[in-house]
Each structure stands twice: as structure tokens, then as C-alpha cells.
Amino acid sequence: MNANSLKDSVANAKDAADQAVDTAADKVSQLSRKARDNAADVLDDAKDIGQTASRKLRAQAAETAAAAEDRLDDLSNAAQSGFRSAKSKLADGSDRLAKALHDAADGTRAASGRMVEAVAGGVSDVADHLRAGSISDLVSSTKAYARRNPGTVAVGAAALGFVFAQLLQSKTRNRDRRG
């Protein structure tokens, strides 16, 4: 092999290598563009999926909040109904107690009868107040009265104890007579 032929072979090899490098660079460039395009498509798809998920989550949160609000309204209505029923029953019981106290006052001596009659009047007033006021109004007015008049509350409690003792004795005597 002579020097020219070696030179030609090296030049041909160099040209072939340059062509291979250019072809590889073109292919890498094409693959890079495709990868960039695919990444952009994936990113767009991810944004769409994120937006769809966000809308669905907001809708589900709104539905859950509406359901919770409905449930809370139902519970509130049930509680108010229960309070009204309890208040009505307490007022009715107070009326029956006032009637029993009036009846007991009719059958007792003058001084104790006046005291029982006064207690019966107070119980009637309480029954009327129960029917007219809300539960929170009743609790706060009772607390306020007890703070303003602790002595009256203590005397009232003692009087109620006395009245109940009289009622129990009366019932016991009636039962013994029937007996």
C-alpha cells in the first residue's frame, strides 16, 4: 500500500466518520425533539388530569358540605323538637303540681295553706314561663333569679320540701285509711 492510497483510505474513513456523526447528531436531534414533544404532551395531560381531579374534588366537597349541612339541620330540628317536648312536659307537670298544691292548701291549716297556695301560684307562674320562653332563656333567667335572691331560693326549696312532705304524709294517710 502506498502513501496515497493510505491517505485516500484515511480521508474516506474520516468522511464516513463525519457522515456517521452527522447522521447520529440528526437522529439525536430528532429523538430530542420527539422527547420534548412527548414531555410537553405528558405535561398537558397531567395538567388536564389535575384540573379534572380538582373539579371533581371541589364537587365532592360541595356535596359533602351540603349533606353535612342537611344532617346538621335535621339534628338541630330534632333537638329543638325534643326541647319543645321536654319544656311542654315540664310545664304540664308544673301545672299538675300547682293543682295538687292548691288542693293540698285547701285541706291544710290557714298559715300553711297560705304558704302552699303561694308556692302553688309560683309553680303556676313557672309553668306559664316554661310555655312562653326558650330553654336558654329559662336557664339564664333561673340563674339570674337565684343570684339576685339566694335567700328566697333557699326558702322556696325548704317550702317545696315541706309541701312534698305534707303531700307524702297525706297520701300515706289516705292509703292507710283505704287499706
Interval 77-112: pLDDT, tens: 887 888 778 777 777 777 777 777 777 666 665 666
Eight-state DSSP code of residue 160: H
Interval 29-57: pLDDT, tens: 898 899 888 888 898 889 999 899 989 98
Instruction: Select the more confidently predicted residue: 115 or 92.
Output: 92
Listed in sequence order, the residues at least 6 apart from 108 whose beta carbon sits closer than 8 Å to its beta carbon are 116, 166
- HSE-up (13 A, CA, CB side) for residue 21: 6
CA distance 104 to 170: 9
3: exposed, middle or buried (Cβ count in 10 Å: 0-12, 13-18, 19+): exposed
Tell me: pLDDT of 179 over 70: no
Listed in sequence order, the residues at least 6 apart from 98 whose beta carbon sits closer than 8 Å to its beta carbon are 120, 121, 123, 124, 127
**3-class state of residue 23 by DSSP:** helix
Closest C-alpha among 129, 34, 125 to residue 26: 34
Provide the residue ranges of all domains of the chain, joining segments of one domain with +.
Answer: 91-178
Instruction: Identify whether the C-beta of residue 160 lies closer than 8 Å to the C-beta of residue 118.
Output: no
Kindly report the CA angle at 48 between 47 and 51, in degrees rounded to 5? 85
